[in-house]
Amino acid sequence: MKTEILKEIIKRKSLKEDFAVLTNLSTGSSEIFDSKKLLSREFKNYENKIKNFYNLKKNGIIDETEIFILNYIKPVEVIIVGAVHIAQYLIDLLKNFNFIVTIIDPRKYFTTEQRFQKVKIINEWPKNALEIMKTNKNFALITLTHDPKIDDPALNYALKNNFFYIGALGSKKTHENRCKRLKEAGFSEKEIRSIHGPIGIKFGGKSTPEIALSIVAQLVSETNKLLLNSKN
């Protein structure tokens, strides 16, 4: 593979872009492909088949060709508010998937390097932290603290900015009170219902690792829906 291709791969991954690398197994030549890029003459005859594999995010040799495609899918950004115990289990599980995680918690004594390694941490109040982050509707938010002073500003921000996934930890009673506060803040019933609360899929788990697993399972499910909708 040429140096130019490798440099472009590194650049696009740093920019968190969707793209694919095409390789002609007969000639050994490669090029970068995305939904906006025109194919060179060498790959042009297989354009429809390449686009089909690309849109489905399939890797491998394209049917009835000598073209190998390797897709790079931009990671989904997940913001966790609250560096509490369950956050450690969430981090361990999330690193197995295509997620980039940021933890927000103003309480520095919770966010020690000993507890959270190789994770971006912002020791600010969520309102301040989120306003300086470059977020979009493809972000996910998970709130864990049960503290309205910390969780509510993050939920307000995520609802206003249409995050594709918003989940909040807490009992049914805690969530009822949370919904009342959000309604008083001016959010509609539809907007409030978009919050997954209590967070996680229901499979009867009660322990901290089981709750973390239920949250990740729900997040992965909603992420797959997001990716599917983006292809249509």
One-character DSSP codes across 124-161: S-HHHHHHHS---TT-EEEE-S--HHHHHHHHHHHHHT
Q: With cut-offs at 50, 70 and 90, classify the pLDDT of residue 31.
A: very high
The token pair that represents 6 in the structure block:
């490798």
- How far is residue 81's CA from residue 145's CA, in Å, rounded to a whole number? 7
Position 216 scores a pLDDT of: 97
CATH number at residue 146: 3.40.50.720
- How far is residue 58's CA from residue 71's CA, in Å, rounded to a whole number? 7
Percent of the chain with pLDDT over 70: 98
Position 226 scores a pLDDT of: 84
Domain count, the chain: 2
- Overall average pLDDT of the 67-87 stretch: 94
pLDDT value at 197 more than 70: yes
pLDDT value at 168 more than 60: yes
- How far is residue 25's CA from residue 229's CA, in Å, rounded to a whole number? 32
Tell which of 72, 87, 120 closes a domain: 72
Domain with 60 in it? 3-72
Tell which of 72, 91, 125 closes a domain: 72
How many CB atoms within 10 Å of residue 185? 12
Position 74 scores a pLDDT of: 86
